Amino acid sequence: MRTVSLLILAVLVAGVAADTYEFYWDDGACGGGWLWYTGGNYWSVQFDEEKTDDQPGTVTSVGAYVFPGWPDGAYQGADLHIFSDSGGLPGDDLGCEYVGGGSGWQWADTDPAIEINDGVFWVAWEQIGYYPNCDALGFDVGGTGHSYGGDDWIGWGDAMLRCYWEGVMIQVRESSWGLIKTLW
């Protein structure tokens, strides 16, 4: 009986692997850009159990779509934050990375990677600069109900904020007693 228990344990441990996923709600087509008139304001996107399956993992990089050339054509960049969840709103600030350099998708690696224990977290764009000396965040036109800005959910589109998530997926292989016996 002891040999069989060790064999089953070896099969379970062999199935554990870390996988990397790109998390997003936007459809990839930018329909417009939005900004605040004053700096320091946020747009944010919630990533929840629909993406993480309620499993712990780490955010290894964050990205935002910078709307091309608006409002002034000079790119100031933005700070991308990772927040914990606090009852369906952004909670504690877990880390921040600067993204900049131009229009389109801008990415930054989180250093160190941000650990998420409960599978629900937020990625947020913090605007640097005041209008017109700031960048506009790209939005798609279809909304999934995961974007938040100011004091309310944004129902008219998805903020184009993404991240790379590294999580452990446990894959258990089904087998029969006969299959186990053939291994001896």
SS3 160: coil
Query: What pLDDT does 169 receive?
Result: 54
Query: What pLDDT does 34 receive?
Result: 94
| Domain-located, residue 9 | no
| Domain-located, residue 4 | no
Q: Rounded to whole angstroms, how far apart are CA atoms 7 and 108?
A: 42
Q: Rounded to whole angstroms, how far apart are CA atoms 100 and 76?
A: 6
| Domain-located, residue 176 | no
| Domain-located, residue 74 | yes
Identify the CATH number of the domain in which residue 75 sits: 2.60.120.820
Instruction: Specify whether the CB–CB gap between 115 and 56 falls below 8 A.
Output: yes
| Domain-located, residue 2 | no
Interacting residues of 178 by C-beta distance below 8 A, sequence separation 6+: none
SS3 51: helix
How many structural domains does the chain have? 1
| Domain-located, residue 61 | yes
Query: What pLDDT does 7 receive?
Result: 35
| Domain-located, residue 178 | no
pLDDT in tens, the chain (184 residues): 444 433 333 333 344 456 999 999 999 999 999 999 999 999 999 999 999 999 999 999 999 999 999 999 899 999 999 999 999 999 999 999 999 879 999 999 999 999 999 999 999 999 999 999 999 999 998 889 999 998 788 888 999 999 999 986 544 444 455 544 554 4
* 83: containing domain: 18-169
| Domain-located, residue 175 | no
